[in-house]
């Protein structure tokens, strides 16, 4: 932790979402292993991520923040679900928290979509409710269109932040990650802070291939 802080780091985040390596162990469609890192249950398939978290925690010490980014959807299957119920989500997340995760960064394609029927809580909302730990929400924040559509060439216009603020004020999550809105408009945060919504810029997919 001292080395990380000396380098100016405030936290470390592991990417365990979107079908990348750690997530390939979580998902039963990609994890076909027959050793201790595979199995029918999410607890078994989560052992790879838990092992990484334990190693990171041992390296950085007890007080340095460790974040893990997770998603239900995959690049290979936008409708995929690792956890279909709150009980399955708790079985997924609890070992990660026990292994050293302080914060859950919960990626959705659209942050406003409920995670389970019968509640309007999104992924980050459920993770916080179940784990009692800080969460980060992300997914089409401040834009009308979502990320995958942008890869197909779809542009987006600025969208109201009212629903985001309602959920934030309600305590569903603690932090908000913003991606595409900042790519075209690096002053997005300042404009939102100062109430200059009329100055917010549209998002163009061409920005994904532009070095500003």
Burial class (CB in 10 A: 0-12, 13-18, 19+), 195: exposed
Q: How many other C-beta atoms lie within 10 A of the C-beta of residue 59?
A: 13
* Closest of 169, 49, 167 to residue 98, by C-alpha: 49
Taking the C-alpha atoms of residue 175 and residue 189, their distance in angstroms, rounded to an integer, is 14
Q: Is 195 helix (H, G, I), strand (E, B) or coil?
A: coil
Active site residue 37: no
Cβ atoms of 180 and 155 within 8 Å: the answer is no
Question: Of the listed 20, 114, 157, 163, which one is catalytic?
Answer: 20
Strand partners, 18: 74
Dig out the tokens for 96 from the structure: 């990660």
End-to-end CA distance of the chain: 33
Cα(127)–Cα(103) distance, rounded to whole angstroms? Answer: 10
**Sole residue written with tokens 């340095």:** 64
Instruction: Write phi, then psi, for 39 (nearest 5 degrees).
Output: 140, 170
The alpha carbons of the chain give a radius of gyration, in whole angstroms, of 18
Q: Which residues are catalytic?
A: 20
């Amino acid at each position: 932790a001292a080395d990380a802080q000396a380098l100016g780091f405030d936290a470390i985040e592991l990417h365990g979402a979107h079908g990348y390596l750690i997530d390939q162990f979580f998902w039963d469609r990609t994890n076909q292993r027959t050793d201790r890192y595979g199995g029918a249950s999410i607890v078994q398939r989560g052992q790879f991520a838990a092992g990484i978290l334990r190693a990171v925690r041992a390296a950085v010490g007890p007080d340095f923040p460790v974040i893990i980014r997770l998603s239900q959807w995959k690049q290979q299957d936008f409708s995929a679900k690792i956890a279909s119920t709150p009980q399955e989500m708790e079985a997924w997340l609890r070992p990660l928290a026990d292994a050293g995760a302080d914060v859950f960064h919960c990626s959705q394609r659209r942050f406003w979509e409920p995670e389970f029927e019968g509640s309007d809580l999104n992924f980050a909302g459920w993770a916080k409710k179940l784990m009692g730990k800080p969460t980060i929400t992300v997914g089409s924040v401040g834009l009308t269109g979502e990320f995958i559509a942008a890869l197909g060439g779809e542009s987006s216009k600025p969208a109201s932040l009212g629903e985001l603020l309602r959920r934030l004020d309600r305590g569903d999550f603690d932090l908000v990650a913003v991606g595409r809105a900042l790519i075209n408009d690096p002053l997005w945060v300042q404009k939102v802070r100062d109430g200059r919504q009329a100055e917010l810029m549209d998002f163009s997919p061409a920005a994904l291939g532009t070095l500003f």
